[in-house]
Structure 1
Amino acid sequence: MADGHDKLMVALLAVPESTASTLYGMYDMLGSTGRDWELFVNGVPGEPLIHPMIVSADGRRIRSPSGLAIEPEYSLADCPDVDLVAVPDLMVAPDEDIAGRHPAEVAWLRERYASGALLATACTGSMILAEAGLLDGQDATVHWAYSDAMAARYPAVRVHRNRALVISGEGRLILGGGGTAWHDLALFLIARFLGVEEAMRVARLHLVDWHHIGQQPFAAFVCRRQTGDAVIADCQEWIAQHYDQDAPVAEMVRRSGLSERSFMRRFARATGMSPLEYVHTLRLEESKQLLETTDLSVEAVANEVGYEDASFFGRLFRRKVGITPTQYRRRFATLRKALAQQQGEQAPPSS
């Protein structure tokens, strides 16, 4: 948490092009975390876990493109230290160039990123990060209608038009692609900072379908390579390529040169998971991809990722993911095909 605060401090950056519905939607969803679940379950509001605040260049009222007034709480100069800055989507035309339009906001985002804040964007908000140069050499996403223009305008950015959520900058740049991606983005951020269970509570309260994109990228995110402990980072690098081997935890202990007890303690401190939990997470992530993209049987998928006992794999998958492998395939393989078809229909005709 930001210095001197026991809550997650989140700044929502407002500019004249900001969509009020996304800005205030994120404000309400983030602000409900920890508070509203207790109200509905026990009748008494809980302690809010997130303090969202709306900030703008000068702190003055902004008239959004729809005509609604946006009331910032802070100017950039007065904004307190925050853990996270979120940039909601912008109402601009795909071919509209925003270069040079927001110099104060661009400079402030650079400063916040340099000071350690995590930056997140919804849909076209990613263009402000691109304008700030923070996406140079990074993977990014944006609404499909803007992807070609963004790629042409910012050639140093690797734009992925088909991805709903992209995590870059060693986990400190998080971008949601679609127009309503802010739902999943907000849930993802809650999960990132406060845990999956807290995010699931918010999803239930707001009737948001978490499984559309939420759980998949979260699992991939928590398994990103850590750099704070070189010994553990080396083991993570190795396990990313060898998670399907027999006794992978024992091999990581051997590679580390540590005693088993010391290794277990340092691994948990670096990753937030035990080594075995980490291995299971990697295996389940790979199994999701195989279920989505191949016709392999569930038994074959289990074997591919390192489980000889398909029944154990099925039970583990259901416990961790919430649905069976077959249900997952039915849901997400179909969704993947539908998205691919939609993107193909939206692509310009080849000349």
Structure 2
Amino acid sequence: MTMRAWVIKQYGKPEDLVLDRIPVPSLREGGAEPVDTLVKIEAVGLNFADEIAIAGRYQDRIEPPFVPGNEFAGTVVQTSGSSRFQIGDRVACQVRSGAFAEYCAVPSHRLMAIGDLPAPIAAALPVSYTTAHVALFQKANLTAGQTILIHAAAGGLGIAATQLARSAGARIIATAGSEDKRRIARENGAEHVIDYRQPDWHDEVKALAPQGVDIILDPVGGQTSERSLRLLGWRGQLLVCGFASGEIPALKANYMLVKSASVHGVYWSFDRNPEEIATIQQDLVGRCADGKISPLIQQVRPISELIEAIKDLGTRNTVGKVVLAW
């Protein structure tokens, strides 16, 4: 059997992706991690990491040719003896690669059971919401009453973090660019929203938190990270979640020293903490089903528009999560 899949045959730009026909992945038993479940993909989520992987600049490089894509939702269509799922079960997953295809073969212990959640909603959970949860609760131990500054609050990670911080009872200050993005940040739980394009945005944060903020979630990098470090209060924490600006910051240790502050790199791995990540992800599915969190998906685009969608994500012409469907 063959399937349609977007393949990158040599590192390059999104335009170098090719919609090709390749063999459907096979299941295999044995080894440390049996690949025992085949999923027919219905929806995929986009991430900044996708473009980086296509360019060959991701930390965990995969040699071409390969099928990019890190998260999907769909229906189980084939299993082998060790799978904990049955044909017809609906699931979602974060994978190292392979989501931009009609089928993906996965070890069943990595899959999230999603029940009746719509595939586009479920496809938005594995990366952004897991990252936000790890950042806020595993790294920063966020508690009620703390003040958190969330950058790029209208993006997929920003909205996830805002919703989770709101549910924990935190006071949320957010930054976003356009008026529409600032409105979205407020609607998702931010109490104060600041236009980061203004040169004095950090002064507005200082006015709202004169003693400094407790936690800063930063997926932007560059000067945003450097200025953010100065906004931390005593024993404040800066959560480095990515470099959407394209610039890796040079952080000055003296600001950490005088405030006894911490900088945490937020990078999670299912391989390193399988039980913890599986518990977090299944909890997120439950919260979503109960209406406690709700991914913002303004539009579900056809998978044929993948190249254009990745470009839009890279130029920040999107809000919330970008999802595509077969």
Per the normalisation by structure 2, the TM-score is 0.29
More helix, by proportion? 1
Which is greater in Rg?
Answer: 1
Q: Which has the higher contact order (CA 8 A, sep 6+)?
A: 2
Per the normalisation by structure 1, the TM-score is 0.28
